[in-house]
């Protein structure tokens, strides 16, 4: 991954990334071993301190000469204070520093550098040279039974050796620490990604995920603020969906059209874009508002999902911030996780909505089932049966039996509303209620349907309509009075004849001025009256053939001596056999009246 930057960007040491202490990368025991080995090689006392001057290891004094030097020192506290101060000075300057004690002993401190910052200090000494107190040297020579000249010569050699190897040892230790630091950062980043991945991919709503993304980005990269914008495909605008650390005044600065935001567009199409100083970059849309907000540098990372851009993450810093490559990789990885999490959250919400609709449809199906007759009327001289199979959980077909209180007339209704699912179910319930209400006040089928039509025209949208067949049988005379409002004509099977019951008027719910006409036909013993919706005759097989009225009539004629319930079951079996391997595509409703 590369980083797109502003034209004036130059390479500079990373002075903002937090560098851990040397002990965060190397165990003190290993540091002690390294120090002892170095002290043995140069023949001087060696000590490792942290960047604040505190001791990390115990002093290494590999030979008797160094031991005697340490034993002859006075004012130990003052000596320790000067040594610590020397270490701090070397850590701040980033180079070897030296100091001399009151007795003339030299100390050298070399910083252990990582990413341009000191994580520890390597201190060597105390070493005698030509300026060291001669009285003390002579005293040491007597104690060690050595010539003074040889002692001076040895000290000078030790000094030269210590200085020449000190920088090498500090550099070697720095390289070792840097490798540990890199490994440590990678481990921390992997842990962060793992933690964030678990958080983001847990079942959450989209808004929760978006807020978690910007908060996590701020905490992980230790930045001032973060904002997340998603692309509105309809308007072409990057719409702010979540933010952390930004003021309300800044959030109201104005829209961010993708065509006008070169930085966001570049990040969404390629690699992250870094702007070191927003006040000097002409691509910034609202530079004065950013300055007032206290923003100095920004890093923009594109969000991509399903092979295309969906938005951008904007990371804001309050001071000049040079992002390390590992931080860029982490930001890019977090953005990828965020994009996946956003898509997962959308799917989660869609599934929740789907589950909600499924529950509502299940409830609607139960309600609709109870709207259909729970049992068939027992009318002397007539055998009745019916069934309803919606192609979905709820449908738009329905049938009903309307028995007058005195039992003199039997009303039979079959209807098919436009639309399926919930909309069809609501219109079906409305039509059923209207038919029942009008049947209590009107006698003839034509009058009932006329009033129902007027009611539907007032209460439904222009594109909603219902086909209705309503017949009333005078039980004593066996005369069927009926009207047909645009429904599939029922068929009266008498012997070898099949008589369609047509005439009446147009569908209900379209024209409130429509007047429906009524017809009548006397029924005879052995007649079979079939009322159906187009889901019966238009059932399709795998060859896309229609079941058709001819096949239906064949089943009825061949079984006219059987009960209405038996004929109904045979019709259902015929439909299942015919469409085997093909889905039911329409609601299927059948009412059968057999004259005994």
Q: Give the percent of the chain with pLDDT over 90.
A: 33
Rounded mean pLDDT of 86-93?
Answer: 90
Asked if residue 153 has pLDDT above 80, the reply is: no
Burial class (CB in 10 A: 0-12, 13-18, 19+), 53: buried
Report pLDDT for 335: 78
- Mean pLDDT across 128-134: 57
The H-or-E segment that residue 241 falls in is strand 237-244
What pLDDT band is residue 296 in, cutting at 50, 70 and 90? very high
So where are the chain's domains? Answer: 22-187, 206-349, 372-595
Residue with the bigger pLDDT between 6 and 186: it is 186
For 448-524, list the strands marked E by DSSP.
466-474, 479-485, 491-494, 497-500, 504-505, 519-522
Q: Which pLDDT belongs to residue 10?
A: 31
Is it true that 22-187 and 206-349 share their CATH fold?
yes
What separation in angstroms does the CA of 397 have from each of 28, 418, 420, 431, 508? Answer: 82, 9, 9, 11, 14
Task: Identify the pLDDT of residue 299.
Answer: 93
pLDDT tens, 173-196? Answer: 777 776 666 666 666 666 666 666
Distances (CA, A) of 81 to 26, 78, 335: 25, 5, 49
- Residue 127: what pLDDT? 62
pLDDT at position 113: 85
Task: Report the pLDDT value the prediction gives residue 532, as an integer from 0 to 100.
Answer: 96
**pLDDT exceeds cutoff 60 at 24:** yes
For 396-403, what is the mean pLDDT?
89
Asked whether the beta carbons of 60 and 141 are under 8 A apart, the reply is no
The band of 159, judged by pLDDT with boundaries at 50, 70 and 90, is low
Higher pLDDT, 42 or 153: 42
pLDDT, greater one: 13 or 225: 225
User: Is the confidence at residue 9, as pLDDT, over 60?
Assistant: no
Enter the DSSP assignment of 55: B
Residue 13 has pLDDT above 50, yes or no: no
- Tell me: the pLDDT tens digits for 457-505? 988 887 889 999 999 999 999 999 999 999 999 999 998 899 999 989 9
Question: What's domain 206-349's architecture?
Answer: 2-Layer Sandwich (3.30)
Q: Tell me: pLDDT of 216 over 70.
A: yes
pLDDT tens per residue, range 218-253: 888 889 999 988 888 889 999 888 899 999 888 888
Query: Distance of CA 516 to CAs 38, 436, 445, Å?
Result: 111, 18, 9
The model's confidence at residue 385, banded by pLDDT at 50, 70 and 90, is very high
**What average pLDDT does range 106-114 have in this prediction?**
83
Give the pTM: 0.52
pLDDT for position 269: 87
Contacts of 37 (CB under 8 A, 6+ apart): none
Q: Is the pLDDT of residue 548 over 90?
A: yes
22-187: which CATH number, 3.40.50.300, 3.40.50.1820, 3.30.450.40, 3.40.50.2300?
3.30.450.40
User: Does residue 363 have a pLDDT over 70?
Assistant: yes
Give the pLDDT of residue 338.
75
Per-residue confidence band for 591, with pLDDT thresholds at 50, 70 and 90: very high
Q: Which helix (H) or strand (E) holds 302?
A: strand 297-305
State how far Cα 504 lies from the chain centre. Answer: 56
Residues 238, 370 contacting (CB under 8 angstroms): no
* Torsion on CA atoms 325, 327, 332, 334, rounded to nearest 10: 160
Q: For residue 182, what pLDDT is reported? A: 64
Q: Which range, 118-122, 294-298, 585-589, is most confident? A: 294-298
The structure tokens listed for 99 are 């100091």
What mean pLDDT, rounded, does the chain reach?
81
d(CA 278, CA 315) in angstroms, rounded, equals 12
- Choose from 53-67, 368-382, 505-519, 581-595 the range with maximum mean pLDDT: 505-519
**pLDDT over threshold 80, residue 581:** no
pLDDT for 283-295, tens place per residue?
A: 998 899 999 999 9
Q: Contact at 8 Å (CB) between 118 and 111?
A: yes
pLDDT score of 206 more than 90: no
Three-state DSSP state, 75: coil
Is 188 strand, coil or helix? helix
CATH code, 372-595: 3.60.40.10
> What is the percent of the chain with per-residue pLDDT over 70, rounded to a whole number?
81
Angle at alpha carbon of residue 515, lines to 513 and 517, rounded to 5°? 170
Task: Say whether pLDDT at 329 is over 60.
Answer: yes
pLDDT at 420 over 50: yes
Query: Higher confidence at residue 376 or residue 394?
Result: 376
- In this predicted structure, what is the pLDDT of residue 131? 55
Predicted confidence band of residue 440 (pLDDT cuts 50, 70, 90): confident
Which pLDDT score, from 0 to 100, does residue 594 have?
95
Q: In the structure, what pLDDT confidence band is assigned to residue 62 with cuts at 50, 70 and 90?
A: very low
The answer, yes or no, to whether residue 412 has pLDDT greater than 60, is yes
- Of 22-26, 179-183, 363-367, 457-461, where does the model show the most confidence? 457-461
pLDDT of residue 75: 42
- Least confident window among 115-124, 243-252, 277-286, 547-556: 115-124
Q: Is the pLDDT of residue 14 over 70?
A: no
């Amino acid at each position: 991954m590369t980083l797109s930057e502003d034209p004036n960007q130059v390479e500079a040491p990373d002075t903002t990334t937090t560098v851990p202490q040397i002990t965060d990368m190397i165990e003190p025991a290993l540091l002690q071993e390294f120090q002892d080995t170095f002290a043995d090689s140069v023949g001087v006392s060696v000590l490792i301190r942290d960047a604040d001057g505190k001791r990390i290891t115990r002093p290494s004094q590999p030979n008797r000469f160094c031991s005697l030097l340490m034993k002859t020192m006075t004012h130990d506290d003052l000596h320790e204070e000067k040594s610590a101060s020397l270490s701090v000075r070397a850590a701040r300057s980033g180079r070897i520093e030296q100091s001399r004690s009151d007795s003339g002993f030299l100390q050298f401190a070399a910083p252990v550098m990582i990413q341009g910052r000191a994580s520890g200090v390597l201190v060597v000494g105390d070493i005698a040279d030509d300026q060291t107190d001669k009285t003390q040297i002579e005293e040491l020579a007597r104690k060690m039974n050595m010539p003074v000249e040889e002692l001076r010569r040895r000290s000078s050699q030790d000094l030269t050796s210590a200085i020449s190897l000190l920088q090498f040892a500090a550099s070697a230790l720095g390289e070792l620490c840097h490798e540990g630091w890199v490994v440590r950062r990678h481990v921390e980043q992997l842990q962060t990604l793992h933690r964030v991945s678990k958080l983001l991919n847990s079942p959450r709503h989209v808004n929760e995920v978006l807020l978690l993304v910007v908060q996590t980005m701020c905490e992980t990269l230790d930045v001032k603020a973060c904002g997340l914008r998603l692309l509105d495909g309809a308007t072409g605008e990057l719409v702010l969906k979540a933010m952390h650390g930004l003021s309300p005044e800044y959030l109201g600065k104005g829209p961010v059209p993708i065509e006008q935001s070169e930085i966001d567009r570049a990040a969404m199409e390629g690699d992250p874009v870094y702007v070191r100083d927003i006040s000097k970059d002409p691509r910034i849309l609202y530079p004065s508002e950013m300055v007032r907000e206290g923003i100095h540098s920004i890093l923009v990372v594109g969000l991509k999902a399903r092979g295309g851009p969906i938005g951008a993450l904007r990371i804001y810093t309050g001071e000049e911030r040079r992002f390390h490559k590992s931080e860029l990789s982490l930001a890019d990885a977090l953005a990828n996780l965020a994009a996946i999490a956003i898509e997962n959250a959308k799917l989660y919400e869609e599934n929740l909505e789907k589950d909600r609709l499924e529950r509502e449809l299940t409830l609607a199906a139960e309600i609709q089932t109870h709207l259909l007759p729970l049992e068939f009327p027992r009318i002397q001289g007539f055998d009745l049966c019916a069934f309803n199979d919606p192609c979905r959980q709820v449908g738009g077909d329905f049938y009903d039996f309307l028995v007058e209180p005195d039992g003199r007339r039997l009303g039979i209704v079959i209807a098919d509303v436009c639309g399926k699912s919930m909309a069809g179910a609501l219109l079906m319930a409305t039509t059923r209620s209207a038919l029942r209400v009008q049947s209590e006040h009107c006698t003839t089928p034509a009058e009932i349907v006329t009033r129902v039509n007027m009611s539907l025209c007032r209460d439904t949208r222009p594109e909603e309509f219902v086909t209705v067949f309503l017949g009333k049988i005078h039980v004593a005379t066996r005369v069927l009075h009926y009207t047909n409002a645009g429904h599939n004509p029922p068929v009266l099977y008498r012997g070898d004849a099949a008589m369609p019951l047509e005439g009446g008027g147009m569908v209900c719910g379209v024209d409130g001025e429509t007047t429906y006409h009524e017809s009548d036909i006397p029924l005879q013993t052995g007649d079979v009256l079939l009322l159906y919706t187009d889901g019966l005759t238009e059932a399709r097989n795998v060859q896309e053939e229609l079941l058709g009225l001819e096949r239906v009539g064949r089943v009825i004629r061949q079984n006219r001596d059987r009960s209405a319930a038996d004929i109904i079951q045979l019709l259902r079996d015929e439909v299942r056999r015919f469409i085997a391997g093909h889905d039911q595509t329409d609601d299927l409703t059948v009412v059968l009246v057999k004259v005994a």
